[in-house]
Homo-oligomer: A and B are copies of this chain.
Amino acid sequence: MAVKSVIEAVREAIREEMARDPKVFVMGEDVGIRGGVFLATQGLAEEFGNDRIIDAPLAEASIMGIALGAAFRGMRPIPEVQFSDFVWPSINQLIGEAARSCYGTHGALQVPMVIRMPYGGGIRGGLFHSQNVETHFFHTPGLKVVAPSTPYDAKGLLKSAIRDNNPVVFLEHKKTYRLVRGEVPDDEYTLPLGKADIKRTGSTITVVSYGLTLHYCLEAAEELASEGVDVEVVDLRTLTPLDTETILESVKKTGKLAVVHEDNITGGVGAEIAALAAGQAFEYLDGPVVRICGPDVPTMPFAQTLEDAYMPSPDKIADGLRKLAAY
C-alpha cells in the first residue's frame, strides 16, 4: 500500500478503468494536454489519445448532452465539470434528461455515465468556485450521488461508479484533493455504492457527514473523546443510494444524532437525515437532532474572515456535539 492524495486516487481510478474498458472516455474543458485544472486527467491524453480524452468547447450543456448521447450508444463517458459551480448550464441534461432516460423508456436506455465535479469551499474560491451542489442531485431520483472523503474511498467508489449502468454524480471536495492523503491498496479493488462507512465507532452520539467535513467531525470526535464523550462518526460516502440502515442502526444505538455538512442548512442533505431519524428512529432519540451546517448564505465569500465564518470547523462541530451530549 502506498500513501496517496485524493486527486491521485481519482486519476488512478480513471486510468485503470480506461485501460480495462475501451468504452470509457473522458470529456471536459482542458482535460487533455492540460490534464484538467486540478490535474485529475494528467498524462491520460498522452496515454489514451485525444479521442478518449476529449477537450470540449466551453459549453457545459453540450458536454453533458453529448456524453449522454454517447452513453445511449453504449459508451461509458466520464464528463468532467471543471468546477461544480459551472454545472448549472448543463443541469437540464442531467436532472431533466439523464436521470429519467431509463425510467422514461422503461429500461430501454441505460446511462452508464459518471459526472465528475470538484465541489465545496474553504479554498478562497469565493461565490463562484466554492459551491456545494449535492442537494440538487440528492433530490433527483434516477441519479446516484457519491461524495467520498478519503483517497481509498475515492478510488474504490469511482471505479464502481464507472462500472455502474446509471448516471452517477461523483463529487470530489476540492479542498481534500491534496490535503487528504491516505493508504491506497496496490491491488485492484472496488467499493459498493450505497454503503456508508463508520469511520469511528462510538456510543453516545452519532455524527453523520461526508466529504471534507467528515474529517472535521473526526477531529471534533477526538476532542470530545478527551472529554469523555464517545462519538460515532458515520461517513455516508454515497448520498444516493442513501444507506438508511447504517444511519438508523447507529442512531438507535447512540440515541443522539448530529448531521454535519458544508452545504446550506435549509433543505440540505442534513434535513433528510434528520427527517429519517425523526420518522423511523423516533422512539430511540434522546435529544433533538442537531444540524451543524453551512448557513443560508450564497456559498461562500472570498475574504478569509467571511469564509471562516461560513465554514463548519472542528471547533464549531465540537461545540455542537458538546451541547448535544449535555442534553
Contacts and interface: CB of A to CB of B under 8 A. Distances in A.
Contacts of A285: 278, 282
Contact of A141 (B104, B242, B291, B296): B296
Interface stretch (A90-98, A174-182, A197-205, A225-233): A90-98
Interface in A76-104: 85, 88-89, 91-92, 95-96, 99-100, 103-104
Contact of A272 (B92, B267, B280): B267
A264 interface: yes
Interface in A123-152: 127-128, 135-136, 138-142
A279 B268 contact: no
A111 to B, nearest CB: 12
Interface in A37-78: 61
A91 to B, nearest CB: 5
A85 B91 CA distance: 12
Given A88-B92, A91-B91, A142-B298, A278 B272 contact: no
B92 A264 contact: no
B298 A288 contact: no
A282 B287 contact: yes
Q: How large is the interface on A (under 10, 10 to 19, 20 to 34, 35 or more residues)?
A: 35 or more
Nearest to A137: B267
* Binding site secondary structure of chain A: helix
Contact of A266 (B89, B272, B278): B272
A191 interface: no
Contact of A91 (B88, B140, B141, B272): B88
Contacts of A283: 288
A287 B280 CA distance: 10
A96 B91 CA distance: 12
Contact of A100 (B270, B274, B298): B298
Interface in A248-284: 264, 266-272, 274-275, 277-280, 282-283
